[in-house]
Structure 1
Protein backbone atom coordinates (compact mmCIF):
# COMPACT_ATOMS: atom_id res chain seq x y z
CA UNK A 1 0.00 0.00 0.00
CA UNK A 2 2.91 2.36 0.59
CA UNK A 3 3.58 2.43 -3.16
CA UNK A 4 -0.07 2.45 -4.18
CA UNK A 5 -0.84 5.04 -6.90
CA UNK A 6 -4.15 5.72 -5.15
CA UNK A 7 -3.40 8.68 -2.84
CA UNK A 8 -6.20 7.73 -0.47
CA UNK A 9 -4.66 4.35 0.24
CA UNK A 10 -1.09 5.65 0.23
CA UNK A 11 -1.28 9.12 1.82
CA UNK A 12 -4.31 8.71 4.02
CA UNK A 13 -3.87 5.14 5.24
CA UNK A 14 -0.50 3.43 4.77
CA UNK A 15 1.78 6.40 5.42
CA UNK A 16 0.11 7.90 8.52
CA UNK A 17 -0.30 4.48 10.14
CA UNK A 18 3.37 3.60 9.69
CA UNK A 19 4.59 7.02 10.78
CA UNK A 20 2.38 7.05 13.87
CA UNK A 21 3.43 3.58 14.95
CA UNK A 22 7.12 4.39 14.48
CA UNK A 23 6.86 7.64 16.42
CA UNK A 24 4.95 5.95 19.25
CA UNK A 25 7.55 3.22 19.58
CA UNK A 26 5.44 0.33 18.32
CA UNK A 27 8.28 -0.70 15.99
CA UNK A 28 11.17 0.03 18.36
CA UNK A 29 12.25 -3.60 18.62
CA UNK A 30 11.87 -4.07 14.88
CA UNK A 31 13.27 -0.73 13.72
CA UNK A 32 16.45 -2.08 12.05
CA UNK A 33 14.45 -4.57 10.01
CA UNK A 34 11.78 -2.04 9.12
CA UNK A 35 14.44 0.39 7.94
CA UNK A 36 16.06 -2.31 5.85
CA UNK A 37 12.71 -3.02 4.24
CA UNK A 38 12.24 0.63 3.38
CA UNK A 39 15.79 0.83 2.01
CA UNK A 40 15.06 -2.16 -0.22
CA UNK A 41 12.08 -0.27 -1.63
CA UNK A 42 14.45 2.34 -3.06
CA UNK A 43 15.56 -0.13 -5.73
CA UNK A 44 12.07 -0.90 -7.05
CA UNK A 45 11.85 0.44 -10.60
CA UNK A 46 14.88 2.69 -10.15
CA UNK A 47 15.75 4.32 -13.47
CA UNK A 48 12.16 4.47 -14.70
CA UNK A 49 10.44 7.74 -15.55
CA UNK A 50 6.74 8.44 -15.54
CA UNK A 51 5.73 5.11 -13.98
CA UNK A 52 3.94 4.34 -10.74
CA UNK A 53 7.01 2.71 -9.19
CA UNK A 54 8.14 6.19 -8.13
CA UNK A 55 5.59 6.08 -5.32
CA UNK A 56 7.19 2.99 -3.81
CA UNK A 57 10.64 4.57 -3.87
CA UNK A 58 9.54 7.99 -2.72
CA UNK A 59 7.39 6.85 0.17
CA UNK A 60 9.88 4.20 1.22
CA UNK A 61 12.51 6.89 1.74
CA UNK A 62 9.99 9.04 3.59
CA UNK A 63 9.26 6.25 6.08
CA UNK A 64 12.98 5.50 6.33
CA UNK A 65 13.56 9.12 7.36
CA UNK A 66 11.07 8.63 10.21
CA UNK A 67 12.98 5.51 11.30
CA UNK A 68 16.18 7.56 11.37
CA UNK A 69 14.51 10.32 13.38
CA UNK A 70 13.25 7.75 15.87
CA UNK A 71 16.78 6.41 16.33
CA UNK A 72 18.07 9.95 16.85
CA UNK A 73 15.43 10.53 19.51
CA UNK A 74 16.05 7.21 21.23
CA UNK A 75 19.09 5.14 20.17
CA UNK A 76 17.77 1.87 18.79
CA UNK A 77 19.86 1.12 15.71
CA UNK A 78 23.61 0.37 15.49
CA UNK A 79 25.61 3.18 13.94
CA UNK A 80 26.80 0.95 11.14
CA UNK A 81 23.22 0.23 10.16
CA UNK A 82 22.34 3.93 9.97
CA UNK A 83 25.43 4.56 7.85
CA UNK A 84 24.33 1.74 5.54
CA UNK A 85 20.92 3.37 5.20
CA UNK A 86 22.64 6.64 4.40
CA UNK A 87 24.65 4.99 1.64
CA UNK A 88 21.50 3.52 0.14
CA UNK A 89 19.65 6.84 0.34
CA UNK A 90 22.52 8.70 -1.31
CA UNK A 91 22.88 6.12 -4.08
CA UNK A 92 19.16 6.20 -4.79
CA UNK A 93 18.76 9.98 -4.63
CA UNK A 94 21.52 10.58 -7.16
CA UNK A 95 20.21 7.85 -9.46
CA UNK A 96 16.51 8.78 -9.27
CA UNK A 97 15.21 9.75 -12.71
CA UNK A 98 11.57 10.44 -11.90
CA UNK A 99 11.58 13.91 -10.37
CA UNK A 100 7.88 14.65 -10.78
CA UNK A 101 6.30 16.57 -7.94
CA UNK A 102 2.53 16.39 -8.16
CA UNK A 103 1.01 13.73 -10.42
CA UNK A 104 -2.59 14.54 -11.46
CA UNK A 105 -4.99 11.91 -10.20
CA UNK A 106 -2.31 10.17 -8.13
CA UNK A 107 -1.08 12.87 -5.78
CA UNK A 108 2.44 13.67 -4.67
CA UNK A 109 5.34 11.63 -5.99
CA UNK A 110 7.93 14.13 -4.73
CA UNK A 111 10.92 11.78 -4.79
CA UNK A 112 13.48 14.59 -4.57
CA UNK A 113 11.62 16.32 -1.73
CA UNK A 114 11.28 13.10 0.25
CA UNK A 115 14.92 12.29 -0.41
CA UNK A 116 15.85 15.70 0.95
CA UNK A 117 13.83 14.95 4.09
CA UNK A 118 15.83 11.75 4.56
CA UNK A 119 19.12 13.61 4.15
CA UNK A 120 17.95 16.12 6.74
CA UNK A 121 17.13 13.29 9.15
CA UNK A 122 20.55 11.75 8.57
CA UNK A 123 22.25 15.11 9.11
CA UNK A 124 20.76 15.27 12.61
CA UNK A 125 21.88 11.75 13.52
CA UNK A 126 24.52 11.47 16.25
CA UNK A 127 26.15 8.73 14.17
CA UNK A 128 27.34 11.38 11.72
CA UNK A 129 30.52 13.36 12.18
CA UNK A 130 32.28 15.83 9.90
CA UNK A 131 33.31 13.29 7.20
CA UNK A 132 29.81 11.83 6.88
CA UNK A 133 28.18 15.26 6.90
CA UNK A 134 30.53 16.41 4.16
CA UNK A 135 29.44 13.45 2.04
CA UNK A 136 25.79 14.39 2.61
CA UNK A 137 26.58 17.94 1.54
CA UNK A 138 28.08 16.64 -1.68
CA UNK A 139 25.02 14.47 -2.30
CA UNK A 140 22.73 17.48 -1.96
CA UNK A 141 24.92 19.47 -4.29
CA UNK A 142 25.11 16.75 -6.92
CA UNK A 143 21.34 16.34 -6.87
CA UNK A 144 20.85 20.07 -7.37
CA UNK A 145 23.21 20.35 -10.35
CA UNK A 146 22.29 16.96 -11.80
CA UNK A 147 20.95 16.59 -15.33
CA UNK A 148 17.18 17.15 -15.49
CA UNK A 149 14.57 17.63 -18.18
CA UNK A 150 12.53 20.13 -16.19
CA UNK A 151 13.12 22.39 -13.22
CA UNK A 152 11.95 21.74 -9.68
CA UNK A 153 8.60 23.50 -9.33
CA UNK A 154 6.99 21.88 -6.28
CA UNK A 155 9.17 23.24 -3.45
CA UNK A 156 11.88 20.63 -3.91
CA UNK A 157 14.45 23.41 -3.61
CA UNK A 158 12.97 24.44 -0.27
CA UNK A 159 13.13 20.89 1.07
CA UNK A 160 16.74 20.54 -0.12
CA UNK A 161 17.55 23.84 1.58
CA UNK A 162 15.93 22.64 4.82
CA UNK A 163 18.10 19.53 4.74
CA UNK A 164 21.17 21.70 4.20
CA UNK A 165 20.33 23.90 7.18
CA UNK A 166 19.87 20.79 9.34
CA UNK A 167 23.38 19.81 8.33
CA UNK A 168 24.80 23.28 8.94
CA UNK A 169 23.28 23.39 12.42
CA UNK A 170 25.63 20.60 13.43
CA UNK A 171 28.54 23.07 13.06
CA UNK A 172 30.86 20.23 12.07
CA UNK A 173 31.76 21.00 8.46
CA UNK A 174 34.63 23.54 8.23
CA UNK A 175 33.76 26.86 6.64
CA UNK A 176 36.45 26.55 3.96
CA UNK A 177 34.86 23.26 2.90
CA UNK A 178 31.49 24.99 2.57
CA UNK A 179 33.05 27.79 0.53
CA UNK A 180 34.77 25.37 -1.84
CA UNK A 181 31.54 23.36 -2.14
CA UNK A 182 29.54 26.41 -3.21
CA UNK A 183 32.18 27.48 -5.71
CA UNK A 184 32.22 23.98 -7.19
CA UNK A 185 28.44 23.91 -7.62
CA UNK A 186 28.35 27.28 -9.37
CA UNK A 187 31.30 26.39 -11.59
CA UNK A 188 29.78 23.04 -12.56
CA UNK A 189 26.40 24.56 -13.42
CA UNK A 190 27.90 27.37 -15.50
CA UNK A 191 30.28 25.11 -17.40
CA UNK A 192 27.56 22.58 -18.15
CA UNK A 193 25.24 25.33 -19.33
CA UNK A 194 27.89 26.62 -21.70
CA UNK A 195 28.59 23.21 -23.16
CA UNK A 196 24.93 22.36 -23.84
CA UNK A 197 23.41 25.75 -24.67
CA UNK A 198 23.23 25.01 -28.40
CA UNK A 199 21.35 21.77 -27.81
CA UNK A 200 18.95 22.53 -24.96
CA UNK A 201 17.68 25.27 -22.66
CA UNK A 202 20.70 26.43 -20.61
CA UNK A 203 18.41 27.26 -17.69
CA UNK A 204 17.96 23.52 -17.17
CA UNK A 205 21.61 23.39 -16.09
CA UNK A 206 21.59 26.43 -13.80
CA UNK A 207 17.94 26.83 -12.82
CA UNK A 208 17.69 24.24 -10.05
CA UNK A 209 20.87 25.53 -8.44
CA UNK A 210 19.52 29.07 -8.61
CA UNK A 211 16.26 27.98 -6.96
CA UNK A 212 18.15 26.06 -4.30
CA UNK A 213 20.53 28.90 -3.43
CA UNK A 214 17.64 31.35 -3.16
CA UNK A 215 15.79 28.95 -0.86
CA UNK A 216 18.91 28.40 1.23
CA UNK A 217 19.44 32.15 1.52
CA UNK A 218 15.89 32.61 2.82
CA UNK A 219 16.24 29.73 5.27
CA UNK A 220 19.41 31.23 6.71
CA UNK A 221 18.09 34.80 6.68
CA UNK A 222 14.66 34.33 8.27
CA UNK A 223 14.35 30.65 9.20
CA UNK A 224 14.48 29.33 12.78
CA UNK A 225 17.64 28.24 14.60
CA UNK A 226 20.27 29.46 12.11
CA UNK A 227 23.83 28.15 12.42
CA UNK A 228 26.47 30.32 14.07
CA UNK A 229 28.09 30.95 10.68
CA UNK A 230 24.91 32.42 9.20
CA UNK A 231 26.34 35.88 8.44
CA UNK A 232 29.35 34.52 6.55
CA UNK A 233 27.24 31.95 4.74
CA UNK A 234 24.83 34.63 3.58
CA UNK A 235 27.72 36.56 2.04
CA UNK A 236 28.84 33.44 0.18
CA UNK A 237 25.32 32.84 -1.07
CA UNK A 238 24.97 36.43 -2.29
CA UNK A 239 28.12 36.06 -4.36
CA UNK A 240 27.02 32.68 -5.71
CA UNK A 241 23.64 34.10 -6.72
CA UNK A 242 25.34 37.04 -8.39
CA UNK A 243 27.58 34.66 -10.32
CA UNK A 244 24.49 32.90 -11.66
CA UNK A 245 22.49 36.10 -12.21
CA UNK A 246 25.05 38.78 -13.07
CA UNK A 247 22.79 40.61 -15.56
CA UNK A 248 20.19 41.10 -12.82
CA UNK A 249 22.17 41.23 -9.57
CA UNK A 250 25.53 42.59 -10.65
CA UNK A 251 28.93 40.96 -10.49
CA UNK A 252 29.99 39.09 -7.34
CA UNK A 253 32.43 40.72 -4.97
CA UNK A 254 34.67 37.77 -4.17
CA UNK A 255 37.71 37.39 -6.42
CA UNK A 256 37.50 33.68 -7.15
CA UNK A 257 38.04 31.95 -10.45
CA UNK A 258 34.49 30.77 -10.74
CA UNK A 259 33.13 34.25 -10.16
CA UNK A 260 35.35 35.80 -12.80
CA UNK A 261 33.69 33.67 -15.45
CA UNK A 262 30.93 35.25 -17.51
CA UNK A 263 27.40 34.04 -17.00
CA UNK A 264 25.62 32.16 -19.81
CA UNK A 265 23.07 34.30 -21.56
CA UNK A 266 24.58 37.57 -20.37
Structure 2
Protein backbone atom coordinates (compact mmCIF):
# COMPACT_ATOMS: atom_id res chain seq x y z
CA UNK A 1 0.00 0.00 0.00
CA UNK A 2 1.41 3.40 -0.99
CA UNK A 3 1.54 6.39 1.35
CA UNK A 4 -1.13 8.10 -0.73
CA UNK A 5 -3.40 5.09 -0.31
CA UNK A 6 -2.75 5.06 3.45
CA UNK A 7 -3.69 8.71 3.72
CA UNK A 8 -6.94 8.19 1.86
CA UNK A 9 -8.31 5.89 4.56
CA UNK A 10 -9.32 6.40 8.17
CA UNK A 11 -6.61 5.72 10.71
CA UNK A 12 -9.00 3.55 12.72
CA UNK A 13 -9.27 1.12 9.82
CA UNK A 14 -5.53 0.36 9.78
CA UNK A 15 -3.93 -2.60 11.52
CA UNK A 16 -1.56 -1.84 14.39
CA UNK A 17 1.54 -2.42 12.27
CA UNK A 18 0.23 -0.46 9.29
CA UNK A 19 -1.01 2.30 11.59
CA UNK A 20 2.43 2.72 13.17
CA UNK A 21 4.06 2.84 9.73
CA UNK A 22 1.48 5.35 8.51
CA UNK A 23 2.16 7.67 11.45
CA UNK A 24 5.90 7.46 10.83
CA UNK A 25 5.32 8.39 7.20
CA UNK A 26 3.07 11.24 8.28
CA UNK A 27 5.72 12.69 10.60
CA UNK A 28 8.29 12.53 7.80
CA UNK A 29 5.94 14.12 5.25
CA UNK A 30 5.14 16.99 7.61
CA UNK A 31 8.70 18.26 7.06
CA UNK A 32 8.75 17.62 3.32
CA UNK A 33 10.02 20.52 1.19
CA UNK A 34 7.35 19.65 -1.37
CA UNK A 35 4.20 21.66 -0.48
CA UNK A 36 2.00 19.15 -2.28
CA UNK A 37 3.27 16.46 0.10
CA UNK A 38 3.50 18.54 3.28
CA UNK A 39 0.57 20.92 3.05
CA UNK A 40 -1.94 19.39 0.66
CA UNK A 41 -1.49 15.79 1.79
CA UNK A 42 0.26 15.28 5.14
CA UNK A 43 -1.21 18.23 7.05
CA UNK A 44 -4.72 17.57 5.73
CA UNK A 45 -4.36 13.93 6.78
CA UNK A 46 -2.99 14.88 10.21
CA UNK A 47 -5.95 17.19 10.84
CA UNK A 48 -8.34 14.38 9.90
CA UNK A 49 -6.58 11.62 11.85
CA UNK A 50 -5.66 13.39 15.10
CA UNK A 51 -9.14 13.24 16.70
CA UNK A 52 -9.16 9.45 16.17
CA UNK A 53 -5.68 8.76 17.55
CA UNK A 54 -5.37 7.28 21.00
CA UNK A 55 -3.80 9.46 23.73
CA UNK A 56 -0.40 7.79 23.49
CA UNK A 57 -0.29 8.37 19.73
CA UNK A 58 -1.28 12.01 20.10
CA UNK A 59 1.38 12.46 22.79
CA UNK A 60 4.03 10.91 20.56
CA UNK A 61 2.99 13.02 17.58
CA UNK A 62 3.13 16.13 19.76
CA UNK A 63 6.59 15.18 21.00
CA UNK A 64 7.76 14.79 17.41
CA UNK A 65 6.30 18.16 16.41
CA UNK A 66 7.88 19.90 19.42
CA UNK A 67 11.25 18.48 18.32
CA UNK A 68 10.70 20.06 14.90
CA UNK A 69 11.02 23.55 16.42
CA UNK A 70 14.80 23.08 16.31
CA UNK A 71 14.83 21.31 12.94
CA UNK A 72 17.15 22.87 10.33
CA UNK A 73 14.37 22.71 7.75
CA UNK A 74 12.26 25.87 7.84
CA UNK A 75 9.09 24.13 6.71
CA UNK A 76 9.39 21.61 9.57
CA UNK A 77 9.57 24.42 12.11
CA UNK A 78 6.67 26.38 10.66
CA UNK A 79 4.27 23.46 10.32
CA UNK A 80 4.90 22.13 13.83
CA UNK A 81 2.60 24.70 15.52
CA UNK A 82 -0.22 23.93 13.07
CA UNK A 83 -0.15 20.24 13.95
CA UNK A 84 0.16 21.00 17.67
CA UNK A 85 -2.92 23.22 17.40
CA UNK A 86 -4.91 20.30 16.03
CA UNK A 87 -3.62 18.11 18.88
CA UNK A 88 -4.71 20.73 21.42
CA UNK A 89 -8.15 20.86 19.82
CA UNK A 90 -8.35 17.09 20.36
CA UNK A 91 -7.79 17.69 24.09
CA UNK A 92 -4.09 16.90 24.42
CA UNK A 93 -1.43 19.37 25.56
CA UNK A 94 1.88 18.76 27.30
CA UNK A 95 3.77 21.46 29.19
CA UNK A 96 6.91 19.87 27.74
CA UNK A 97 5.90 21.30 24.36
CA UNK A 98 5.63 24.88 25.60
CA UNK A 99 9.33 25.68 26.01
CA UNK A 100 10.38 24.51 22.50
CA UNK A 101 7.53 26.54 21.03
CA UNK A 102 8.20 29.61 23.19
CA UNK A 103 11.91 29.52 22.35
CA UNK A 104 11.26 29.19 18.62
CA UNK A 105 8.39 31.61 18.01
CA UNK A 106 10.06 34.99 18.68
CA UNK A 107 13.45 33.76 17.48
CA UNK A 108 12.43 32.57 14.00
CA UNK A 109 14.19 34.77 11.46
CA UNK A 110 12.45 33.71 8.25
CA UNK A 111 8.96 35.19 8.41
CA UNK A 112 8.04 34.90 4.74
CA UNK A 113 4.46 33.92 4.19
CA UNK A 114 5.07 32.09 0.94
CA UNK A 115 8.07 30.70 -0.92
CA UNK A 116 7.78 29.73 -4.60
CA UNK A 117 9.48 26.37 -3.99
CA UNK A 118 8.46 25.53 -0.41
CA UNK A 119 4.92 26.89 -0.58
CA UNK A 120 3.23 28.37 2.49
CA UNK A 121 5.56 28.79 5.47
CA UNK A 122 3.83 31.48 7.57
CA UNK A 123 5.83 31.16 10.80
CA UNK A 124 4.23 34.21 12.43
CA UNK A 125 0.70 33.19 11.47
CA UNK A 126 1.07 29.51 12.33
CA UNK A 127 2.53 30.32 15.74
CA UNK A 128 -0.40 32.67 16.33
CA UNK A 129 -2.80 29.86 15.42
CA UNK A 130 -1.34 27.72 18.20
CA UNK A 131 -1.63 30.61 20.66
CA UNK A 132 -5.27 31.12 19.68
CA UNK A 133 -6.00 27.43 20.20
CA UNK A 134 -4.20 27.32 23.54
CA UNK A 135 -6.27 30.31 24.67
CA UNK A 136 -9.27 27.98 24.91
CA UNK A 137 -7.45 25.06 26.48
CA UNK A 138 -8.69 24.40 30.04
CA UNK A 139 -6.18 25.27 32.72
CA UNK A 140 -3.88 27.22 30.40
CA UNK A 141 -2.58 30.43 31.96
CA UNK A 142 -3.44 33.17 29.43
CA UNK A 143 -0.71 35.62 30.47
CA UNK A 144 2.26 33.72 28.96
CA UNK A 145 0.30 33.44 25.71
CA UNK A 146 -0.12 37.21 25.40
CA UNK A 147 3.48 37.81 26.44
CA UNK A 148 4.74 35.41 23.77
CA UNK A 149 2.68 37.17 21.10
CA UNK A 150 4.30 40.45 22.17
CA UNK A 151 7.76 38.87 22.09
CA UNK A 152 7.11 37.86 18.47
CA UNK A 153 5.91 41.33 17.52
CA UNK A 154 8.81 43.14 19.16
CA UNK A 155 11.54 40.85 17.83
CA UNK A 156 13.44 42.96 15.27
CA UNK A 157 12.93 41.90 11.66
CA UNK A 158 13.17 43.51 8.25
CA UNK A 159 10.20 41.50 7.02
CA UNK A 160 7.00 43.46 6.63
CA UNK A 161 3.97 41.24 7.08
CA UNK A 162 2.39 40.77 3.66
CA UNK A 163 0.05 37.80 4.08
CA UNK A 164 -2.26 38.93 6.92
CA UNK A 165 0.06 37.69 9.65
CA UNK A 166 -0.90 40.80 11.65
CA UNK A 167 -4.56 39.75 11.49
CA UNK A 168 -3.74 36.25 12.73
CA UNK A 169 -1.70 37.54 15.69
CA UNK A 170 -4.47 40.03 16.51
CA UNK A 171 -6.99 37.20 16.42
CA UNK A 172 -4.86 35.16 18.81
CA UNK A 173 -4.61 38.10 21.21
CA UNK A 174 -8.36 38.64 21.02
CA UNK A 175 -8.98 34.99 21.86
CA UNK A 176 -6.58 35.29 24.80
CA UNK A 177 -8.35 38.44 26.02
CA UNK A 178 -11.66 36.58 25.91
CA UNK A 179 -10.60 34.38 28.80
CA UNK A 180 -13.04 34.93 31.71
CA UNK A 181 -10.32 34.42 34.34
CA UNK A 182 -8.35 37.51 33.27
CA UNK A 183 -8.42 40.51 35.58
CA UNK A 184 -8.71 44.01 34.16
CA UNK A 185 -5.07 44.66 35.01
CA UNK A 186 -3.92 41.48 33.30
CA UNK A 187 -5.95 42.36 30.21
CA UNK A 188 -3.86 45.47 29.56
CA UNK A 189 -0.48 44.73 31.21
CA UNK A 190 0.85 42.96 28.11
CA UNK A 191 0.68 46.29 26.22
CA UNK A 192 3.24 48.06 28.41
CA UNK A 193 6.36 46.66 26.65
CA UNK A 194 4.90 47.82 23.34
CA UNK A 195 4.15 51.27 24.74
CA UNK A 196 7.72 51.54 26.02
CA UNK A 197 9.11 50.73 22.57
CA UNK A 198 6.78 53.24 20.94
CA UNK A 199 7.80 55.98 23.40
CA UNK A 200 11.48 55.33 22.62
CA UNK A 201 10.96 55.73 18.88
CA UNK A 202 12.93 58.32 16.95
CA UNK A 203 12.11 60.26 13.78
CA UNK A 204 12.85 58.44 10.55
CA UNK A 205 11.66 55.41 8.59
CA UNK A 206 9.41 53.11 10.57
CA UNK A 207 11.10 49.72 11.13
CA UNK A 208 9.19 46.79 9.66
CA UNK A 209 8.64 45.17 13.05
CA UNK A 210 7.17 48.39 14.45
CA UNK A 211 4.83 48.66 11.46
CA UNK A 212 3.83 45.01 11.98
CA UNK A 213 3.04 45.75 15.61
CA UNK A 214 1.01 48.87 14.86
CA UNK A 215 -1.05 47.05 12.26
CA UNK A 216 -1.65 44.16 14.65
CA UNK A 217 -2.94 46.52 17.35
CA UNK A 218 -5.23 48.25 14.88
CA UNK A 219 -6.83 44.94 13.90
CA UNK A 220 -7.04 43.95 17.55
CA UNK A 221 -8.93 47.17 18.29
CA UNK A 222 -11.54 46.19 15.70
CA UNK A 223 -11.84 42.67 17.12
CA UNK A 224 -12.17 43.92 20.69
CA UNK A 225 -14.77 46.46 19.61
CA UNK A 226 -16.83 44.06 17.51
CA UNK A 227 -16.27 40.78 19.35
CA UNK A 228 -14.39 37.64 18.38
CA UNK A 229 -15.84 34.92 16.21
CA UNK A 230 -14.63 31.35 16.33
CA UNK A 231 -13.32 30.63 12.86
CA UNK A 232 -15.31 28.32 10.60
CA UNK A 233 -18.36 28.33 12.87
CA UNK A 234 -21.68 30.19 13.06
CA UNK A 235 -21.16 31.07 16.71
CA UNK A 236 -21.99 34.69 17.56
CA UNK A 237 -19.07 37.00 18.34
CA UNK A 238 -17.65 36.57 21.83
CA UNK A 239 -16.82 39.78 23.76
CA UNK A 240 -13.42 40.15 25.35
CA UNK A 241 -13.56 40.01 29.12
CA UNK A 242 -12.66 43.64 29.85
CA UNK A 243 -13.68 45.34 26.61
CA UNK A 244 -13.72 48.96 27.74
CA UNK A 245 -10.36 48.80 29.52
CA UNK A 246 -8.68 47.05 26.59
CA UNK A 247 -10.06 49.52 24.05
CA UNK A 248 -8.82 52.43 26.13
CA UNK A 249 -5.37 50.88 26.56
CA UNK A 250 -5.10 50.08 22.84
CA UNK A 251 -6.10 53.63 21.90
CA UNK A 252 -3.59 55.11 24.36
CA UNK A 253 -0.82 52.89 22.99
CA UNK A 254 -1.59 53.66 19.35
CA UNK A 255 -1.76 57.39 20.11
CA UNK A 256 1.93 57.31 21.00
CA UNK A 257 2.83 56.66 17.35
CA UNK A 258 -0.22 58.42 15.88
CA UNK A 259 -0.72 61.55 18.00
CA UNK A 260 -3.38 62.83 15.60
CA UNK A 261 -5.65 60.21 17.21
CA UNK A 262 -5.68 62.11 20.49
Q: State whether residues 62 and 87 of structure 2, in contact with CA within 8 Å, keep that contact through their aligned partners in structure 1.
A: yes
RMSD, matched Cα: 1.9
**Distance change >3 Å, CA 228–CA 219, structure 1 → 2:** same
Q: State whether residues 107 and 155 of structure 2, in contact with CA within 8 Å, keep that contact through their aligned partners in structure 1.
A: no
Of residues 124, 133, 152, the one that matches 1:112 is 124
Does residue 188 (structure 1) correspond to residue 197 (structure 2)? The answer is: yes
Q: Which residue of 1 aligns with 2:44?
A: 16
Q: State whether residues 177 and 240 of structure 2, in contact with CA within 8 Å, keep that contact through their aligned partners in structure 1.
A: yes
Q: Aligned-pair distance for 1:212?
A: 0.8
Q: State whether residues 93 and 115 of structure 1, in contact with CA within 8 Å, keep that contact through their aligned partners in structure 2.
A: yes
Could you tell me how far apart the structure 1 residues matched to 2:94 and 2:56 are? 15
Q: Which residue of 2 aligns with 1:217?
A: 221
SS at match of 2:158: coil
Runs of 4+ in 1 over 4 A off after TM superposition: none
Could you tell me how far apart the structure 2 residues matched to 1:139 and 1:26 are? 29
Does residue 98 (structure 1) correspond to residue 110 (structure 2)? The answer is: yes
SS at match of 1:227: coil
Of residues 65, 70, 73, the one that matches 1:38 is 65
**Distance change >3 Å, CA 127–CA 180, structure 1 → 2:** closer
Could you tell me how far apart the structure 2 residues matched to 1:66 and 1:210 are? 29
Structure 2 segments unaligned to the other structure (5+ residues) = 1-28, 229-236
- Scaled by the length of structure 2, what TM-score is found? 0.79
Give the paired residue count. Answer: 225
Q: State whether residues 186 and 244 of structure 1, in contact with CA within 8 Å, keep that contact through their aligned partners in structure 2.
A: no
Does residue 138 (structure 1) correspond to residue 166 (structure 2)? The answer is: no
Q: Aligned-pair distance for 1:116?
A: 0.6
Of residues 60, 79, 84, the one that matches 2:96 is 84
Q: State whether residues 153 and 209 of structure 2, in contact with CA within 8 Å, keep that contact through their aligned partners in structure 1.
A: no
**Distance change >3 Å, CA 147–CA 84, structure 1 → 2:** same
Could you tell me how far apart the structure 1 residues matched to 2:43 and 2:130 are? 15
Q: Aligned-pair distance for 1:27?
A: 4.4
Q: Which residue of 2 aligns with 1:64?
A: 84
Could you tell me how far apart the structure 2 residues matched to 1:189 and 1:21 are? 45
- Scaled by the length of structure 1, what TM-score is found? 0.78
Q: Aligned-pair distance for 1:235?
A: 2.0
Could you tell me how far apart the structure 1 residues matched to 2:196 and 2:85 are? 31
Q: Aligned-pair distance for 1:145?
A: 1.4
Of residues 127, 136, 141, the one that matches 1:124 is 136
Per-residue CA distance 1:43-79 (angstroms, 9 max, x = gap):
102xxxxxxx2111111121011111111xxxxx4xx
Could you tell me how far apart the structure 2 residues matched to 1:153 and 1:117 are? 17
Q: Aligned-pair distance for 1:5?
A: 2.4
Does residue 206 (structure 1) correspond to residue 210 (structure 2)? The answer is: yes
Q: Which residue of 1 aligns with 2:233?
A: none
